[in-house]
């Protein structure tokens, strides 16, 4: 080897040794300078932390922990991805372990290893990642609270009855993400994995709460429920419910007592409403009053009640469990919660639609009869489509009903009889009905014309063969209201205006010695349809004479 080369190598060796010694010296100085600080050139989650004191590092760890709480973790099952924030999943930064890891960076191993790490850090920082921990209870609760973790719920065994026979549903397993398994898998991933945290878990079987033995026991209890008829009482009437009907009410239910038979409340209600349809109390009818042309109403009788009120199914169930030995008093419910207001409002009795008055002499027996029938007829309501007969409503005119003897026309002769004079009421009501547009279904004019009545437009009464009957041909109810003085009788009709009515003509003709009269009427409804009809009368030439002019025998 040439002498110059040897000298060069010796010089180079001394230079390298000098550099090494100076580097080691620098490392020693730096190590002493950072004895209570983080080593130089250390990062935590990408954040430069080299040279930080304890308090500075703790503040940095707190900030990183807060920021990372919003990062997500994923728990996956076949066909399902559950995404939670780290905070929701109970994943958090282990501050103490992270702090220890940061302070240990560059100080691990023997001095040679530590020196090598320090030298390497001069070029590239020593990267430290946060240490995470999992609160398994929080993770399990978060998974359990998610509805999607149950892919298929278990089928509990059960039964119902159709046509009196049991229809059985057998139990079956469901599948779900087991919260405990998911929490364990996440904990393992956090301990050994790297961010972002993601784990795969299988579907786990989910057992039903009850088995087929519970099903058999429930069916046996159901048959016991239906083993006896039940006697029920409602609105003062008694009925019996048989075993076949009771079976139709039964379903199974899961209660604190297990898988048990129960009564389906809706089926009980529907069944009883059909079975006890005729046991309801009648709907109360409105009682109208007219004062100065204004109509008011009250209710005649108690509100209607029917089967069944709240608690009926429970009462029947309790009695069925007890063996059906006692009478069950069923609760009732109101047929009309508004006590009939909507129904009565719909009747439309709100305004006067016709009025007619006829006059008479004062203070005769016949006036007493006119007033009596007016009192009996005041407040009568004719429902839409209903036919109303005066004879059917009043019946025979008797002294017991308050009628007295007065003049009548019988077989063309004037004759006193109990109830005489009420034909004046009939004529007044006939004309009120005529101008209200009602159908005049049955009527007969007097056989002798009486000048106090409208010519050809009047009616008489004689029980039971001569009647005045009208049909309410409107969609609203008709209220008959009567008023009288010593010398007049008035019949008013209240409803909702429907017909526009006018008398359009009148004609007469000879029929032997008698005179026939026809009076024409025109009625127009709200749709603009017009209907024409007429009423007729046939008058004798005088008292005791027929249409041939011959005398008639006195009755």
353 and 487 in one domain? yes
pLDDT of residue 2: 67
pLDDT of residue 3: 67
Q: Which ranges of 405-494 would DSSP assign to H, the alpha helix?
A: 422-436
With respect to residue 13, please indicate whether it lies within any of the assigned structural domains: no
Tally of domains within the chain:
2
With respect to residue 539, please indicate whether it lies within any of the assigned structural domains: no
pLDDT tens, position by position, 394-436: 999 999 999 998 867 776 666 777 878 899 999 999 999 999 9
Lowest mean pLDDT among 23-27, 247-251, 265-269, 432-436: 23-27
pLDDT tens, position by position, 303-318: 999 999 999 999 999 9
Higher pLDDT, residue 274 or 411: 274
pLDDT of residue 443: 97
Structure token pair of residue 435: 């101008």
Mean of pLDDT values over 194-215: 92
447 and 325 in one domain? no
228 and 310 in one domain? yes
186, 175, 203, 195: which is closest to 88 by C-alpha? 186
445 and 392 in one domain? yes
Query: Is the pLDDT reported for residue 100 higher than 60?
Result: yes
pLDDT tens, position by position, 511-551: 999 999 999 999 999 999 999 999 999 999 988 888 988 88
Query: Is the pLDDT reported for residue 437 higher than 70?
Result: yes
User: Residue 336, exposed/middle/buried by CB under 10 A (0-12, 13-18, 19+)?
Assistant: middle
- The rounded percent of the chain whose pLDDT value lies above 90 is 71
305, 301, 359, 370: which is closest to 337 by C-alpha? 305
With respect to residue 307, please indicate whether it lies within any of the assigned structural domains: yes
CA distance 212 to 234: 40
Lowest mean pLDDT among 16-20, 144-148, 255-259, 270-274: 16-20
CA distance 461 to 457: 14
With respect to residue 275, please indicate whether it lies within any of the assigned structural domains: yes
Task: Report phi then psi at 552, rounded to 5.
Answer: -110, 150
Secondary structure class of 472 (helix, strand, coil): coil
The band of 107, judged by pLDDT with boundaries at 50, 70 and 90, is confident
Q: How many residues are given for the chain?
A: 555
Lowest mean pLDDT among 42-56, 198-212, 498-512, 525-539: 42-56
pLDDT of residue 29: 46
pLDDT of residue 23: 46
The band of 26, judged by pLDDT with boundaries at 50, 70 and 90, is very low
Mean of pLDDT values over 200-227: 93
pLDDT of residue 493: 98
Q: Please say which residue of 500, 515, 550 terminates a domain.
A: 500
pLDDT of residue 33: 45
| pTM of the predicted protein model | 0.62
With respect to residue 49, please indicate whether it lies within any of the assigned structural domains: no
Lowest mean pLDDT among 185-194, 209-218, 453-462: 185-194
pLDDT of residue 306: 92
Query: Is the pLDDT reported for residue 15 higher than 70?
Result: no
Query: Is the pLDDT reported for residue 111 higher than 70?
Result: no
Lowest mean pLDDT among 272-286, 320-334, 404-418: 404-418
352 and 331 in one domain? no
475 and 356 in one domain? yes
Task: Report phi then psi at 395, rounded to 5.
Answer: 75, -170
461 and 379 in one domain? yes
With respect to residue 237, please indicate whether it lies within any of the assigned structural domains: yes
With respect to residue 40, please indicate whether it lies within any of the assigned structural domains: no
Q: Please, what is the average pLDDT of the chain?
A: 89
CB 89 within 8 A of CB 195: no
Query: Is the pLDDT reported for residue 27 higher than 80?
Result: no
Mean of pLDDT values over 98-108: 82
pLDDT of residue 9: 58
Mean of pLDDT values over 101-111: 71
In the chain, count of helices (H) and strands (E)? 14, 34
pLDDT of residue 467: 97
The band of 25, judged by pLDDT with boundaries at 50, 70 and 90, is very low
Distance in angstroms between the alpha carbons of the first and the last residue of the chain: 179
Mean of pLDDT values over 226-253: 94
Higher pLDDT, residue 419 or 339: 339
Higher pLDDT, residue 280 or 115: 280
Q: What is the CATH number of the domain that holds 273?
A: 3.10.20.800
491 and 366 in one domain? yes
396 and 331 in one domain? no
Question: Domain containing 378: what range?
Answer: 348-500
326 and 405 in one domain? no
Query: Is the pLDDT reported for residue 290 higher than 70?
Result: yes
Q: Please say which residue of 304, 336, 368 terminates a domain.
A: 336
Q: Please say which residue of 336, 367, 398 terminates a domain.
A: 336
pLDDT of residue 417: 78
With respect to residue 218, please indicate whether it lies within any of the assigned structural domains: yes
Mean of pLDDT values over 88-98: 92
Higher pLDDT, residue 172 or 15: 172
What sign has the CA pseudo-torsion 301, 302, 303, 304? Answer: negative
Query: Is the pLDDT reported for residue 37 higher than 90?
Result: no
Mean of pLDDT values over 458-468: 95
Q: Which ranges of 249-355 would DSSP assign to H, the alpha helix?
A: 265-275, 312-321, 341-347
Query: Is the pLDDT reported for residue 108 higher than 70?
Result: no
Task: Report phi then psi at 287, rounded to 5.
Answer: -115, 115
H helix or E strand, kind and range, residue 277 = none
SS3 content of the chain, % helix, strand, coil (to 5): 35, 30, 35
pLDDT tens, position by position, 125-161: 888 999 999 999 999 999 999 888 888 999 999 999 9
Neighbours of 413 (CB within 10 A): 15
294 and 354 in one domain? no
233 and 266 in one domain? yes
pLDDT of residue 119: 52
Mean of pLDDT values over 291-298: 93
Query: Is the pLDDT reported for residue 28 higher than 70?
Result: no
The band of 287, judged by pLDDT with boundaries at 50, 70 and 90, is very high
């Amino acid at each position: 080897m040439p002498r110059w080369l040897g000298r060069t190598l010796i010089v180079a060796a001394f230079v390298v040794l000098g550099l090494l010694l100076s580097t080691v010296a620098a490392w020693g100085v730096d190590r002493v300078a950072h004895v209570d600080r983080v080593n130089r050139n250390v990062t935590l989650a990408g954040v430069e932390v080299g040279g930080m004191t304890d308090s500075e590092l703790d503040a940095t760890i707190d900030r990183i922990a807060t920021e990372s709480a919003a990062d997500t973790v994923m728990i996956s099952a076949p066909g399902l991805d559950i995404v939670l924030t780290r905070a929701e999943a109970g994943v958090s930064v282990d501050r103490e372990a992270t702090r220890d890891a940061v302070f240990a960076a560059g100080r691990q191993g023997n001095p040679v290893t530590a020196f090598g790490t320090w030298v390497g850090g001069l070029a590239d920082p020593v990267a430290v990642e946060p240490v995470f921990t999992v609160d398994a209870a929080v993770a399990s609760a978060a998974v359990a609270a998610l509805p999607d973790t149950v892919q298929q719920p278990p089928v509990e065994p059960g039964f119902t009855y159709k046509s009196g026979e049991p229809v059985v549903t057998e139990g079956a397993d469901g599948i779900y993400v087991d919260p405990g398994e998911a929490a364990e898998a996440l904990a393992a991933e956090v301990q050994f994995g790297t961010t972002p945290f993601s784990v795969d878990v299988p579907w786990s079987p989910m057992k039903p709460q009850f088995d087929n033995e519970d099903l058999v026991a429930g069916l046996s209890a159901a048959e016991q429920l239906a083993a006896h008829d039940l006697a029920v009482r409602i609105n003062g009437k008694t009925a019996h419910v048989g075993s076949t009907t009771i079976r139709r009410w039964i379903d199974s239910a899961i209660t604190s007592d297990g898988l048990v038979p129960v009564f389906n409340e809706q089926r009980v209600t529907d069944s009883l409403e059909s079975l006890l349809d005729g046991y309801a109390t009648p709907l109360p009818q409105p009682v109208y009053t007219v004062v100065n042309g204004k109509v008011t109403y009250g209710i005649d009788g108690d509100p209607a009640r029917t089967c069944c009120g709240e608690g009926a199914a429970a009462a029947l169930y309790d009695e069925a469990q007890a063996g059906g030995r006692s009478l069950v008093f069923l609760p009732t419910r109101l047929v009309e919660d508004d006590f009939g207001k909507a129904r009565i409002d719909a009747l439309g009795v709100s305004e006067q639609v016709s009025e007619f008055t006829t006059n008479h002499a004062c203070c005769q027996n016949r006036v007493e009869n006119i007033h009596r029938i007016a009192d009996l007829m005041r407040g009568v309501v004719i429902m839409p489509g209903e036919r109303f007969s005066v004879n059917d409503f009043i019946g025979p005119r008797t002294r017991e009903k308050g009628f007295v003897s007065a003049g009548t026309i019988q077989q063309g002769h004037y004759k006193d009889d109990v109830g005489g004079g009420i034909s004046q009421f009939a004529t007044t009501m006939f004309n009120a009905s005529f101008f209200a547009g009602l159908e005049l279904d049955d009527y007969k004019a007097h056989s002798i014309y009486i000048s106090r009545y409208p010519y050809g437009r009047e009616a008489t009464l004689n029980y039971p063969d001569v009647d005045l009957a009208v049909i309410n041909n409107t969609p609203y109810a008709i209220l008959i209201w009567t008023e009288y003085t010593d010398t007049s009788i008035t019949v008013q009709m209240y409803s909702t205006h429907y017909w526009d009515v006018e008398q359009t003509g009148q004609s007469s003709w000879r029929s032997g010695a008698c005179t026939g009269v026809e009076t024409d009427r025109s009625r127009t409804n709200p749709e603009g349809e017009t209907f024409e009809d007429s009423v007729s009368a046939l008058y004798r030439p005088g008292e005791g004479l027929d249409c041939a002019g011959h005398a008639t025998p006195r009755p």
